[in-house]
Amino acid sequence: VAVIAITGKGGVGKTTVAALLVRWLVSEGRGPVLAVDADSNANFNELLGVTFLSTVGGIREEARALVKIDPGMSKQDFLGMKIRQALVEQDGYDLLVMGRPEGPGCYCYANNVLRDSINQLASGYRNLVIDCEAGMEHLSRRTLLDIDYLITVSDPSVRGLHTAGRISELLEELRTRVRHRCLAINKIGAAEQPLTARQQEAVAGSGFRDIFFLPFDPAVAAMDSTGGSVDGIGTDSPVRKGVAAMMRKIIIEGK
């Protein structure tokens, strides 16, 4: 399984990119995909156009409160079953919503078993797409999986680019292993418009070697105003093409 994690500061377009990525993987026959919403303010489902009933956080609370399980069923089996029930099953992909994060230093039994169940579940997929919460801390606590492709999304602002650099740096200090990392600068004005000298400096200082540009796309704004899924973004819209080009470079050409 290839693990693709989307990170970056708040509001830069992580969930939009993550949803477009799931669509791209499925349309290219690169499923089955497991979409994981690791943002406690879960809305990955909205951009995918589906609804969910339960979250991993909810299951953890339930398991903690639980005294008696059916005789003949271990807690491990019970939690594994609950996780499978929480999956939103779609054509080519499934969605799992993490929900409320565990508190810091939560090493409760249910949590460890849940991690095992999720890691085991993940092995049944070809690709995992994790929509992370803004910032980096959660990524390390929420999964024990190594990351194959870490996509840090940023807006083109100089401050935003600096933040992207810091997020990437922070990762170096974490236990999580990352095979490939890249920077996706989203909401770029016009594709041919070069970055200003200050922006270029910020990009150079961010420490990323692989940089991709995703255009600002009115189709995304239009979709947003109606609250629809990314299916409202036409197949030949600039941002969809940008995501496809980025994915081809990263995954197929192995950049």
89 binds ligand ATP (CB under 6 A): no
Residue 237 interacts with Mg ion (CB under 5 A): yes or no: no
210 Cβ contact list (under 8 Å, min separation 6): 180, 181, 182, 183, 249, 250, 255
Smallest distance from the beta carbon of 2 to Mg ion, in angstroms?
Answer: 21
Q: Which of 3, 5, 7, 15 binds ligand ATP (CB under 6 A)?
A: 15
Residues numbered 14-53 forming contacts with Mg ion, rule: CB under 5 A: 14-15
- Give residue 109's Cα distance to chain centre: 26
Task: Select from 81, 174, 221, 252 the one that contacts ligand ATP (CB under 6 A).
Answer: 221
Cβ-proximal residues to 50 (8 Å cutoff; 6+ apart), any chain: 88, 90, 95
Residue 1 interacting entry, from ligand ATP, Mg ion, none, C-beta within 5 to 8 Å by type: none
Selection from Mg ion, ligand ATP, none that 16 binds (CB < 5 to 8 A by kind) is ligand ATP
**Which residues are within 8 A (CB) of 170 and not within 5 positions of it... i.e. 6 or more apart?**
136
8 or 31: whose CB is closer to ligand ATP? 8
Interatomic CA distance for residues 224 and 77, integer angstroms: 40
Partner whose footprint covers residue 151, from ligand ATP, Mg ion, none (CB < 5 to 8 Å by kind): none
Q: Are 19 and 113 in contact (CB under 8 A)?
A: no
239 interacts with, out of Mg ion, ligand ATP, none, CB within 5 to 8 A per kind: ligand ATP
Does 45 contact ligand ATP by CB under 6 A?
Answer: no
Kindly list the residues in this chain that would bind Mg ion in the complex (CB under 5 A).
14-15
